């Protein structure tokens, strides 16, 4: 029989092994890393990841596979549909450059601030035909495929076409349709497609039931017909894809789309569709230590991540300790400074006034903003800064900042606020052995979606991200032909001129919060990609929501439930109001490029349906 002393000694030894860094390093993640040598395909639905794998197995590159996954996720309403918007970063190994894809729709004719104010609205609506910008995803998919892919539209759309004909619907979507059925019933075309058991107690499709979308099937068939006819007439692969593009935005699909929208009270015209186009852009970037971080420009919130990194490079984050009170407080305050700038200065760069992006992203401006950093307490009064002097210019909008943000009555419950704050989006990640990389965050047209006539296309809800009051953000006031400043924000990181990390995340205004913590998890705390995807992130609500009533909750902080009591107590003393979740990491999808072994490591958060395949 062991003595009490020996039992105590053995207990200490066991505790050492349980809590030692060596043992923690060996701790398993809830999902395994995806290891691949030839390709990786990750997205928000397992069936959609299979669509990407099918394209890879047929010889397609990462762009072909990403387009197939995009088409499949739209067909499955993975918090988006075909009438939504697509934004992507693409690394081209031939030019060794990162390209941005801007396929965000625009406000239609008649969509002015005065139009919505006359309806008694403080912001454009969140649902229905008046919430819609022009569809961007079909055009974005076809431009990416034409310019960077290798396969035909027929090949890439084949999985989505089969799914539109009928696929076994998953429980997540079925439950979402049932929850939102009263709103869906208001729109005749949505009601016909999304509620196959209309009149019964349960009216949505049952999980596992074959869900068919005959109108969408016909629309996708028409796109393929246009391409095949052009090929038969001697057109090139690229020209044939653009023939399908024209049929969607200028042909019979466009006419039925507009008819269906206007019948239900929407504003989109044939001229709106014909004038809209996809932009292939130069992304913005910054350097953080040995890494070049690329983001889309200020028509989305992407530059906010670069602003945060520019400020955080002045801190020794590693010495603070992962998720210590000091670490969480530091990141929270840096978020406040950067997101306040986002809320006032970001908008459509193709519309005047010109955003002061060079000033916002300058290292000197970052140092100036850090003068407001409070190391001991949360500051709920943080306002936008003045980046214009760092461009040698005078700020024409300083008069708005004195009383910013404009005071307004708080509307809605905390539950409604949080639902809108986290709204929408999926993500797509793809990479291949040739070196192509795609990081994508498509969104819009989520359930409850208003379908446009007999096209089967669910309309975007992105109009709500505009403002109507110039004092709130002079760069993001709604106007016909203008893009709303969206939350959608993929990321590609290079090291030594080669891809290092590709990552994207769903979750509205939390996207760059999660991306920031993911990158620091890998760069500062040396987690592998799956550990970084599952890590205990936190969420701030101090920035203005991009949805609904554009509210904020200064000082509110969501922590992972594993955060220990002493960290919670320290944060409460700093002025934070805490709540807790069992999963707080996005969900993130990411690829790490292991150049030592010339392999891919894929990661995906440990909740939701996001996952992938690799080979």
Q: For residue 509, what is the DSSP state?
A: G
CA distance 478 to 494: 35
Q: Strand 556-560 to strand 577-581: parallel, antiparallel, or no bridges (unpaired)?
A: parallel
Check pLDDT > 70 for residue 209.
Answer: yes
* Cα 509-338-288 angle, rounded to 5 deg: 105
pLDDT band at 608 (very low <50, low <70, confident <90, very high): confident
Note the pLDDT tens digit of each residue in 347-399.
Answer: 999 999 999 999 999 999 999 999 999 999 999 999 999 999 999 999 999 99
Query: How many angstroms separate the CA atoms of 437 and 430, rounded?
Result: 6
Residues in the chain, how many?
615
Residue 152 and residue 227 in contact, taking contact as beta carbons nearer than 8 Å: yes
- Residue 422 — pLDDT band, cuts 50, 70, 90? low
The mean pLDDT of 466-470, rounded to a whole number, is 97
Q: With beta carbons less than 8 A apart as the criterion, state whether 42 and 50 touch.
A: no
- The DSSP bridge partners found for residue 539 are 558
Is pLDDT larger for residue 424 or for residue 445?
445
Q: Name residue 381's beta-bridge partners.
A: none
Residues 573, 566 contacting (CB under 8 angstroms): no
pLDDT digits (tens, 9 = 90+) for 248-304: 999 999 999 999 999 999 999 999 999 999 999 999 999 999 999 999 999 999 999
Question: Looking up tokens 């992407």, which residue turns up?
Answer: 302
Sequence-ordered list of residues with C-beta below 8 angstroms from that of 443, at least 6 positions apart, any chain = 79, 80, 84, 85, 424, 425, 426, 462, 486, 488, 506
Determine contact, residues 537/516, Cβ cutoff 8 Å. no
On the question of pLDDT at 12 being above 80, the answer is no
Q: For residues 8 and 170, what is the distance between their CA atoms, to the nearest angstrom?
A: 52
pLDDT at 19 (0 to 100): 35
Mention the CATH class of domain 284-425+486-592+600-614. mainly alpha
Kindly report the backbone phi and psi dihedral angles of residue 451, in degrees, each rounded to the nearest multiple of 5, phi listed first: -85, 140
User: For residues 292-328, b (16+ Cβ closer than 10 Å) or e, as one string?
Assistant: bbbbbbbbbbbbbbbbbbbbbeebebeebebbbbbbb
Q: Compute the distance between CA of residue 308 and CA of residue 293 in angstroms, rounded to an integer.
A: 12
- Which tokens go with 72? 């499949």
Domain with CATH 1.10.246.130 in the chain: 284-425+486-592+600-614
Residue with tokens 């909750």: 553
Cβ atoms < 10 Å from Cβ of 198:
13
Query: Which DSSP helix (H) or strand (E) runs through 167?
Result: strand 167-168
């Amino acid at each position: 029989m062991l003595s009490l002393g020996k039992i105590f000694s053995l207990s200490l030894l066991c505790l050492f092994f349980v809590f030692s860094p060596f043992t923690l390093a060996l701790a398993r993640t809830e999902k395994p890393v995806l290891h691949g040598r030839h390709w990786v395909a990750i997205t928000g639905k397992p069936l959609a990841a299979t669509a990407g794998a099918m394209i890879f197995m047929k010889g397609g590159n990462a762009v072909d596979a990403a387009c197939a996954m995009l088409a499949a996720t739209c067909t499955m309403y993975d918090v988006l549909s075909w009438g939504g918007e697509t934004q992507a970063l693409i690394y081209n190994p031939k030019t060794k450059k990162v390209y941005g894809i801007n396929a965000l729709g625009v406000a239609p004719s008649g969509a002015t601030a005065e139009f919505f104010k006359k309806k008694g609205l403080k912001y454009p609506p969140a649902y229905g035909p008046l919430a819609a910008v022009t569809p961007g995803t079909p055009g974005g998919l076809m431009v990416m495929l034409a310019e960077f892919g290798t396969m035909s539209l027929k090949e890439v759309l084949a999985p989505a076409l089969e799914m539109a004909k009928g696929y076994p619907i998953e429980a997540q979507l079925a439950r979402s349709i049932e929850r939102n059925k009263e709103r869906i019933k208001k729109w005749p075309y949505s009601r016909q497609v999304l509620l196959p058991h209309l009149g019964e107690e349960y009216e949505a499709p049952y999980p596992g039931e074959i869900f068919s979308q005959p109108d969408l099937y016909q629309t996708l068939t028409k796109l393929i017909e246009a391409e095949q006819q052009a090929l038969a007439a001697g057109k090139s692969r690229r020209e044939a894809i653009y023939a399908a593009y024209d049929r969607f935005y200028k042909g019979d699909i466009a006419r039925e789309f507009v008819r269906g929208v206007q019948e239900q009270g929407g504003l989109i015209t044939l001229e709106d569709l014909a004038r809209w186009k996809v932009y292939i852009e130069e992304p913005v970037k910054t350097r953080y230590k040995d890494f070049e971080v690329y983001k889309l420009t200020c028509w989305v919130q992407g530059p906010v991540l670069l602003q945060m990194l520019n400020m955080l490079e002045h801190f020794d984050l590693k010495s603070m300790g992962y998720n210590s009170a000091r670490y969480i407080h530091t990141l929270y305050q840096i978020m406040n400074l950067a997101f306040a700038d986002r809320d006032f200065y970001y908008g459509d760069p193709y519309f005047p006034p010109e955003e002061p992006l060079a000033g916002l992203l300058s290292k000197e401006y970052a140092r100036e903003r850090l003068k407001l950093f409070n190391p001991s307490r949360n500051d709920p009064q943080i306002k936008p800064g003045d980046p214009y002097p760092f461009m040698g210019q005078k700020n024409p909008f300083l008069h708005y900042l004195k009383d910013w943000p404009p005071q307004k009555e708080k509307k809605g419950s905390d539950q409604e606020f949080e639902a809108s704050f986290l709204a929408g989006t999926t993500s797509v990640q793809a990479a291949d052995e040739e070196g192509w990389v795609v990081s994508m965050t498509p969104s819009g047209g989520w359930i409850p979606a208003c379908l446009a006539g007999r096209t089967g296309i669910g309309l975007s809800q992105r109009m709500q991200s505009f403002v109507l009051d110039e004092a709130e953000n002079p760069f993001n006031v709604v106007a016909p032909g203008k893009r709303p400043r969206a939350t959608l924000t993929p990321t590609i990181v290079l090291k030594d001129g080669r891809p290092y990390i590709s990552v994207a995340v769903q979750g509205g205004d939390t996207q760059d919060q999660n991306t920031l913590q993911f990158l620091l998890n890998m760069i500062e705390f040396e987690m592998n990609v799956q550990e970084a995807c599952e890590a205990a992130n936190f969420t701030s609500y101090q920035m203005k929501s991009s949805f609904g009533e554009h509210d904020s909750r200064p000082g509110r902080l969501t922590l992972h439930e594993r955060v220990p009591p002493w960290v919670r107590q320290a944060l409460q003393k700093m002025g934070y109001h805490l709540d807790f979740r069992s999963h707080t990491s996005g969900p993130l999808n990411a690829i790490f490029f292991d150049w030592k072994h010339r392999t891919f490591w894929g990661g995906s958060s440990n909740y939701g349906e996001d996952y992938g395949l690799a080979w």
